[in-house]
Each structure stands twice: as C-alpha cells, then as structure tokens.
Chain A
Amino acid sequence: MTEKPKIGVYVCHCGINISATVDVETVADYALKLPNVEVARTYSYMCSDPGQSLIKNDIREHGLNRVIVASCSPRMHEPTFRKAIKEAGINPYYLEMANIREQCSWVHHDIDEGTAKSKKLVAASVAKVRLLEALESKEVDAEPSALVIGAGIAGIQAALDIADAGFKVYLVEKTPSVGGRMAQLDKTFPTLDCSACILTPKMVDCASHPNIELLSYSEVEEIGGYIGNFDIKVRKKARYVDFDKCTGCGDCAAECRVKDRFPSEFDMGMGKRSAVYLPFPQAVPAKYTIDPESCLYLTKGKCGKGPKCAEVCQAGAINFDQVDETVEFRVGAVIVATGFDPFDASRKPEYGYSDYPNVITGMEMERLVSASGPTGGKIKIFNGKEEIEPKEVAFIKCVGSRDESVGNEYCSRVCCMYVAKQAHLLRDKLPDANIRVYYMDVRAFGKGFEEFYDRVRRENVRYIRGNPSEIFKRGDKLVVKVEDTLTATPLEDEVDLVVLGVGLEPRADMRQTMELLRLSQSPDRFFLEAHPKLRPVDTATDGVFLAGCCQGPKDIPDTVAQAKGAASSAMIPLARGKVVISAQVATVDESTCRGCGFCVNICPYTAIELVTVNRFGHEVEVARVNEALCKGCGSCSPGCLSDSIQPKSFRDRQILPQIAALGVFK
C-alpha cells in the first residue's frame, strides 16, 4: 500500500452494555497513542445516525483511510459501518470491527480486566486494518424463478405468492398429492374452520396456476449453484399410471386384486387402500399412483392372468414400463417447506401405544373424528368384545414434547390447542362421555386461544394437572396412572380411549435435505434460521429460505405467515434480477498453487474447481474460486499445504500481525 494509513478508532459505549465493564475513554486514549491512529473517539451508540455521522465527518476532515469500530460483533453492524464509510468516500472493506461487547464486556465483570482486554483487541485491529485490501462487490444475474420443496400449506402458500407476483415456481412434493399434514386435519383451532374446506381451493390453485409447475411424487436429487443461479435436478418417480391419460375415475383401485389391503398413509393406517390408489378423495393432482411396494405385479412380477387395473382402465393409463424421469432446471431462490413428522408414540413405551389399540395419537384422532375419515366421523372403538362408543376418554398432553427423556426439550406449540379442539369435537359427538385432559401447563398464547380453551372447559371437559406415569390394561378398560398435582392425589383413572397429544419432530429424512442445501440444525434439530429474530426465514445459505414446521413447530397461521415471509424474501433477488456477491471471498495465488485439489474436496459450497492454465508455456492445473459460490468461510485455507488459497481480508499476512498484537507470540 502506497498511501500512509490514517486510522480512526471509534469506541462505542453501547449504552451501558460496553461502558459498564469497559472504561471506553481509557481505551480511546490508548488507541490514540497507537501508530497511525489520527482520531479516537467514544460515543454512546456508534451505530446511530449521529454516531455514523461522527465517523463520516472525521473521514472528510482528517482524511482518514482506515476505520476501526470497537463495538459489537461484526455479524451485528459490520454492514452498517461499511455502508457509512463508503458514503464518506472510502472503500467499505477498509473497516475493522473490534468486538469489545460479545467477546469482552458481556463476558467480564471486572472493569479493569474488561478495559485491558479491550485495549488489546483495539491494538490487534490497528495492526490488521493497515493491511486490509480494497475490495469491490460484484453483481450477477438472477434467474427469475423459484423452487419450493414440499407442498404442504407452507409450500403451497409460498408457491402461490411467488407465482401471483409473476415468477415461475417449481413446486416439488414427495408424495402423490399436495396438501401435506393440513389435509389430514379435520377442523382447525380456534375458529373450527374445516381444514379441507380452506385448504383444497389452494391445492387446486397451485395445480392450475399458469406460473406453477407442480412436480408431485418427485424428489429433489441435486442442488448446485448459488443465489440467483441454483441448478436443480428433480427425480419424478414412476407412478406406473400415465399422468395425462388418467381421469381419476378410480376403476383401477376398485378392481385391484389387493383391494383395500394396505394401510392408508393418509388415514394414519386406520383406513385401507389398494395398491393403486389416490391418497384421499380431494387429492391434487387427481391422478392415481401404483405403489411399487404393494403392487402384486411390481413386487412378484405376476398378478393373476394380468393386472386387473390395466384391464379395466378405459383410458389405457396403466403403464408398468414407466421409469423414473429426471428433470433439470435453474432457479434464483429456493424455499424449504418440508414440514415435520408427528412424534412416534411408541418411543414412550409406558403409554402402551404399541400394545393397546385404544391408545391412539392426536393425528389418528384427527382421522377418526373427520367425516372423510375411515369411520365416516363416527367415534367407534373395539374394546376386545364389541364395538362401542367410548364413555370415558382421556387426553394426555406433551407426549414427546418438553421431555428430555426422548431428547425433545422444546414445546411443540400446537398440542395444547389441538387437544382442546379434539376435546370439543368429541364433546359434540359424544355428549354423555366423560372427557378429561391430563396436562403439565396450558399454553394458550395465540389469537383467540385462551377464549377457546375457556369455552372447552365450560363444555364439561375436565383439565387435570398431572403427567401420567403409566397406562395399563384392567379388564376391558385402560388405566391411566397419574397424580393430580393440584390436590396431590394419586389416581388410577379407568377409561375406554386414550388420546396422546403427540408433539412435532423434525422429519426423519431431513438429513438428506440438509446435505442437499448445506443447511444447519438448531439444538432442537429443526432447520436453523440465519438469525432468530432479524432473519427468521433466511438460512446461512444465501437464496435459501425456510417456511413452516421444518424450521420449528408452529400452527397454521404462523406457518402461512412464515411462508408469505419466505416468499417475499425469495422474490427480492427474482425481482431485482441481480444479486450482489460478497467481495470477501477466497482467492488463489496461481503461481504457487500445486493443483492438488484438496481445497476442491474441502469446500463445503463446491465453490472451487481445478482449471488448466498456461504457466510460461506449460499447461498446469490450479484451483479457481467461483466468487458467486464462495462464502469466505476460510475452510480451504488450512487445507492448503502451499498456503496458496486464502480468504481476502483474512489472509495470513493480515491476521498474523493481528494475533501478534494480542501478545500471543512475538
């Protein structure tokens, strides 16, 4: 660098966040004595408008060419200050943040210690800032289309919003129909709208929307590329039914040799389906699918004298020669809306879910109570002798939620209300039954929730505070063993039916999605958002957004709100048509690179490739960084034996003096 560094140091009080544990004036006085520091100031909130103006004025008046802000984590305000110094006319990458808040004031109690450490952190920044290089951000074109993975209510809503805005959407659904979990629900709390009635119009819309290409019974196989330019590969699984010819008449299922032999996934295994099936009557697309795992012809190679479905299909749609098909396309943004799995109640063996047929889960209750369910909405159970209407019903909440013993510390957020709703629906159908709910707490936090909970209690549903320890059988009754913790009374409650209010869990197959998109998990194992408060629908991968329960348990309104948020975030690059690529990326010294490709293997973003270059007449391979893909994470650098690949602004020659200034080594 040819110009002499003129450094300004700005020490932030952050109210008392910093100044309570760090003597900011002393730090500023100290900074002023460091080499090349022209100005050192303190201010109560450096990120505020007057704080930023202070820096900008100094840049103009003192001709500063380097700025150090000693305040919070760069994750917080680095972009703020970069923008500020750019406005004052210096390169935005001539900024160094000394983190004296998260890494200093917040972790120390003693002001002398905090001050001494802040001094060192500032000195380290002074050592580095002079060595920074001017960088320029770049822009690349963005494809005006989006991929939505998962067509539950979150995916459907996100797809519709993006499509309505005029962008092309590819909506990929793993199962034969869109609709997801919401399609299985009977009524929705607290308003008791019929779930299907409010969902099916949206399902139909997303299939008929001119901007949506619905890829049902399909899975995303590969995702390459980067924000603005994701290259997607989707496998359309063979339905063995010609999509265009099938009229959805259902003759095939009616004539199937293994008719109604297999548990219906949609009815939670309580209803039956044939090997060729439509998941549920309102399924979209209304096209039949042959399940390769239950079809006689596909598993045994033989089905009587010939498959009956093919025989009866007047449209000639049955095609056993169909094979999986791969489609490839490019999108500018991706929304992950892969949903959840209900907690597997057999993991709480004390509740006997695997042993007693009359211990059922909340999801099963949804199907049982639904008019379109396997019993047509009649609440009938078999008590070992005869089919009866249950007289005594117990609900148990927090099954698989708030329970460290199964590894789920979190609250699933929907169980309190769905249990209240199911109790209400049961009360409607069984006016004389005794219904009680065993609970730890009732969390009725949403709009209209508390009112609904009150209403259900007034409907003679008893709420008993206690977490049952065991369920066992006595005669033809189930016994719930529990302590009523409000009266400290141990109970053995004899009932006919137990409904387990199971919680929500991350999907069993979420690891695949994680690997496809390089997403991270939060401690609860759901997908991790980029920031819990300020970037709740973003992920660490630019251009990839989260919607619905894949990010954490939530109810339908929250899911729809998040889906709309994700859609609007995803549309930013699509609408702009361009994306800005960070300038802090890895760079290769091609003169020393030995082309071993270690970095290519190491890079978690597949941002590096080997290219052949001409080195004074010789063809040699060297690593090259795709700046659009590189996140500047620096993983490549320690893997490079010749030290040829380094992240800009974090090069060895920039960070070693910084470390040295901390007094770690000389």
Chain B
Amino acid sequence: MDLEQLRKTAAEVVARDDVKYLIGWKKGSYGYRVAPVFVEDAAGVAELIFSPLCTANLTTYLTLVEKTPLPRGQEADKRKVALMVKGCDSRAVVQLLVEKGIHREEVIVIGCPCPGVVDQSLLVEKYGDTEEPVEVKWNGDGFMLVRGGEEIKIPRDEVLAEKCRLCRYPNPVISDHLIGAEVEKWSPAEDSGVSELDAKDVDGRWEYWEEQFNKCIRCYSCRNVCPLCYCQDCILDRLNPTWINRAVNFSENTAFNISRAFHLAGRCIECGECERVCPANIPLGKINRKMAREVREKYGFEPGLDPEAEPFQASFKPDDPEDFIL
C-alpha cells in the first residue's frame, strides 16, 4: 500500500472547497485497534493509514450523519464527503447509490484495492493481545506482524478474515481516486458453512438457529454497523404497531434476525460487519450469504455492482421463479 500516495491524494481532496471532510482509518488507541478518522484539513492526513487491520466498513458513516434541524435561514452544508473504501465497502457505496441513500455528487470515493484483511479475534487467539502499539502489514502472500521491533511472518490463511476468503471483489467497483494498483483476484473459498447448513433438514437448521438466536442480546449492533440499515426510524423499533416485542427471548430474537435478513435480501454486499461486531458471536454472515446466494442463483442479481441497476426488491419480471412460495 502506497501510504504516501494515499496521504497526498487525501491532502488534495480535503483542500477542495467543496469537500467537508474525508473519512478514513487511523491507528487506534492501543494494540491492534484501528479507529475511524474524520480528516478536515491537510494537517490531519498524516494520521491516515491503510493496513490489514482496517476491517471496518466506513460507508456506514455516510448515512449515520444526522441531519439535525437547521435554524431558519441557515443553509444546509452541501459539501461532499470523501470516503476510503476497500472492494467490499465500495459495493455498499454502489448499493446506497442504487437506493438513493446517497447521491453520486455527494461523495468522493477513494478506492483502496485490498489483498484481504485480518480477523482480529484470530490474531489475538494465535499471537496474543497487546496494549503496546503494534503494526500489521501485508507481506507477500501473507501478513507481517511488527511488535516491539520483532517481525513475525504470518501465513495468509491463518488469520485472514472469513469474508476475505469468500471475497470476489477485492478491488473497488467504484472510485474517484484509486490508491495503488489493483490487486489480483483470488479464487474465493466455497461458501463456508452455508452448504453445510443447507445439507441439514429443516429440523436440523431450526435447531442450529434456535441455539444461535437464543444467544442474541438484541443490542442491535448488527443493525447499527450495517451500511445498508439506515432507515431514520427502523420499523423494528416501532411501538404502533409493535412488530417485535422488546422482550429478549427466542421468539422475538428470531423475528428480529429474520426480519433483518429479509430486509437485506438482494441488498447485502457481504462486508461481514454484522458478524464482526456481534458480541454474542452469532454467525450472521451465514444468513446473509445464504440470502445473497439465493438471489444470485434464482434471479441472477448481485447488489452493489451497478449504480444504475434497478433495486432488486423493487423489480419484477413475469418469469421470475416462484417455486419457493408455499
């Protein structure tokens, strides 16, 4: 990764009058942590990094920004927001464009071709956690952990995040500035876990998900981190009508998780953020990947690739398959 090019481009972008700020990654407060950073001027660009620890999908910040009421007469800030994206993140940008969640003229996309990021939990498991500042870099086919002057080579498969093993779009599908060269695509792993679950009978799957959903504490982290869950007023929070009770039990948890999966059908771009942030370790990726696979196989549709695409959930063809309708 060419950090110099990143910072130079970022400096040029934030210097523009029509740019509000740039959202990127910076080193976190300790250990492996990486934090988002909002860079408003050239002075801030030195903080920007792009490393295998930059797992978070920053696209979610585009829609998280609250449009608070303005005093009468005050103009809304219409300046653009610049955003660093990996391949997967860029698909969220495209999907937001499709859904008019953002408009093209509102964003500047800084595309970062991504050889794959690490799963921090695996890193901690294998190499221990630390409070000291450490660095993780891409190194040939794998990674390099730099800790207290010591360089540790890590084989790629040992700590590679699951979503990256399955990744089919390592290069940004949309960008205004591309940092560094595009990376070579790798052949993605099989859909880890989905086929395995598919092979079970209905009772077996139900048993599996009963166990998983029973763990849910309904913290809504999955929803809050998701770049495509951005309704101002989520129906799952509504009281009239109360679609889902507040009670944390299997029935309501299931209703919540299944509703979310359906709302994401044909929209989820498989960035894996929901699963990453889940404190209960529910394999949410499996639900969303299953849904994505159904949509791809039955309807030949993949979200987040073409900004001009008709939204999947709002398109209809007379010959659409419907054999799954009971």
Confirm or deny: A580 has a beta carbon within 8 angstroms of a beta carbon on chain B: no
Which residues does chain A contribute within 8 Å of B101, judged by CB atoms? 594, 596
Interchain CB contact under 8 A, A602 and B100: no
Instruction: A639 to B311: give the CA distance in the assembly, Å.
Output: 11
Confirm or deny: B231 has a beta carbon within 8 angstroms of a beta carbon on chain A: yes
Which residues does chain B contribute within 8 Å of A641, judged by CB atoms? 231, 235, 263, 313
Checking A595, A598, A617, A656 against B311 with a beta-carbon cut-off of 8 angstroms, the contacting residue is A598
> A-contacting residues of B (Cβ < 8 Å)?
67-72, 74-76, 99-101, 230-235, 238, 240-241, 263, 310-311, 313-316
Residue of B nearest to A592 (CB): B233
Checking B238, B241, B313 against A598 with a beta-carbon cut-off of 8 angstroms, the contacting residue is B313
Checking A596, A610, A616, A643 against B238 with a beta-carbon cut-off of 8 angstroms, the contacting residue is A643
A603-629 vs B, CB cutoff 8 Å, 1 = contact: the mask equals: 000000010000111111100000000
Instruction: A595 to B314: give the CA distance in the assembly, Å.
Output: 13
Confirm or deny: A601 has a beta carbon within 8 angstroms of a beta carbon on chain B: yes
Instruction: A171 to B314: give the CA distance in the assembly, Å.
Output: 36
Which residues does chain A contribute within 8 Å of B232, judged by CB atoms? 591-592, 594, 642
Interchain CB contact under 8 A, B70 and A596: no
Instruction: A598 to B231: give the CA distance in the assembly, Å.
Output: 13
Which residues does chain B contribute within 8 Å of A599, judged by CB atoms? 314
Interchain CB contact under 8 A, A618 and B314: no
Interchain CB contact under 8 A, A597 and B231: no
Confirm or deny: A652 has a beta carbon within 8 angstroms of a beta carbon on chain B: yes
Confirm or deny: A138 has a beta carbon within 8 angstroms of a beta carbon on chain B: no
Which residues does chain B contribute within 8 Å of A591, judged by CB atoms? 232-233
Interchain CB contact under 8 A, A601 and B314: yes
Which residues does chain A contribute within 8 Å of B231, judged by CB atoms? 592, 594, 641-642
Confirm or deny: A653 has a beta carbon within 8 angstroms of a beta carbon on chain B: yes
Residue of A nearest to B232 (CB): A592
Residue of B nearest to A635 (CB): B316
Instruction: A620 to B315: give the CA distance in the assembly, Å.
Output: 23
A596-B240 contact, Cβ under 8 Å, with A616-B67, A616-B69, A618-B76:
no
Interchain CB contact under 8 A, A596 and B99: yes
Which residues does chain B contribute within 8 Å of A639, judged by CB atoms? 313-314
Residue of B nearest to A642 (CB): B231
Instruction: A619 to B67: give the CA distance in the assembly, Å.
Output: 10
Interchain CB contact under 8 A, B314 and A598: yes
Which residues does chain B contribute within 8 Å of A596, judged by CB atoms? 99-101, 311
- Beyond contacts A592-B231, A596-B99, A616-B70: 6 other A-B pairs, Cβ-Cβ < 8 A, are A597-B311, A600-B314, A616-B68, A616-B69, A639-B314, A641-B231
Which residues does chain A contribute within 8 Å of B233, judged by CB atoms? 591-592, 642
Residue of A nearest to B75 (CB): A617
Interchain CB contact under 8 A, A617 and B69: yes
Which residues does chain A contribute within 8 Å of B313, judged by CB atoms? 598, 639, 641
Interface CB pairs A-B, < 8 A, 15? A592-B232, A592-B233, A594-B101, A594-B231, A594-B232, A596-B311, A599-B314, A601-B311, A610-B100, A617-B71, A621-B100, A641-B235, A642-B231, A642-B234, A643-B235
Interchain CB contact under 8 A, B241 and A652: yes
The 10 closest A-B pairs by CB, nearest first: A617-B70, A616-B69, A601-B314, A598-B314, A642-B231, A596-B99, A592-B233, A618-B67, A643-B235, A656-B241
Which residues does chain A contribute within 8 Å of B241, judged by CB atoms? 652-653, 656
Residue of B nearest to A656 (CB): B241
Residue of A nearest to B233 (CB): A592
Interchain CB contact under 8 A, B314 and A620: no
Checking A602, A610, A621 against B314 with a beta-carbon cut-off of 8 angstroms, the contacting residue is A602
Residue of A nearest to B315 (CB): A601
B198 to chain A, nearest CB (A): 27
Interchain CB contact under 8 A, B234 and A601: no
Interchain CB contact under 8 A, B240 and A653: yes
Which residues does chain A contribute within 8 Å of B263, judged by CB atoms? 641
Residue of B nearest to A641 (CB): B263
A572 to chain B, nearest CB (A): 33
Residue of A nearest to B229 (CB): A641
B102 to chain A, nearest CB (A): 11
Interface centre among A619, A639, A643, A656, by most B CB within 10 Å?
A643
Instruction: A642 to B313: give the CA distance in the assembly, Å.
Output: 13
Which residues does chain A contribute within 8 Å of B240, judged by CB atoms? 653
Checking B67, B75, B311 against A615 with a beta-carbon cut-off of 8 angstroms, the contacting residue is B67
B53 to chain A, nearest CB (A): 32
B41 to chain A, nearest CB (A): 25
Instruction: A602 to B311: give the CA distance in the assembly, Å.
Output: 10
Which residues does chain B contribute within 8 Å of A617, judged by CB atoms? 69-72, 74-76
A422-459 vs B, CB cutoff 8 Å, 1 = contact: the mask equals: 00000000000000000000000000000000000000
Residue of A nearest to B228 (CB): A641
Instruction: A592 to B100: give the CA distance in the assembly, Å.
Output: 15
A592 to chain B, nearest CB (A): 4
Interchain CB contact under 8 A, B76 and A619: yes
Interchain CB contact under 8 A, B100 and A595: yes
A329 to chain B, nearest CB (A): 30
Which residues does chain B contribute within 8 Å of A597, judged by CB atoms? 99-100, 311, 314
Instruction: A600 to B99: give the CA distance in the assembly, Å.
Output: 11
Interchain CB contact under 8 A, B70 and A618: yes
Instruction: A618 to B71: give the CA distance in the assembly, Å.
Output: 11
Residue of B nearest to A616 (CB): B69
Residue of A nearest to B231 (CB): A642
A666 to chain B, nearest CB (A): 11
Which residues does chain B contribute within 8 Å of A621, judged by CB atoms? 100
Instruction: A595 to B103: give the CA distance in the assembly, Å.
Output: 11
Instruction: List residues 124-139 of chain A with CB under 8 A from any CB of chain B.
Output: none
Checking B69, B230, B316 against A594 with a beta-carbon cut-off of 8 angstroms, the contacting residue is B230
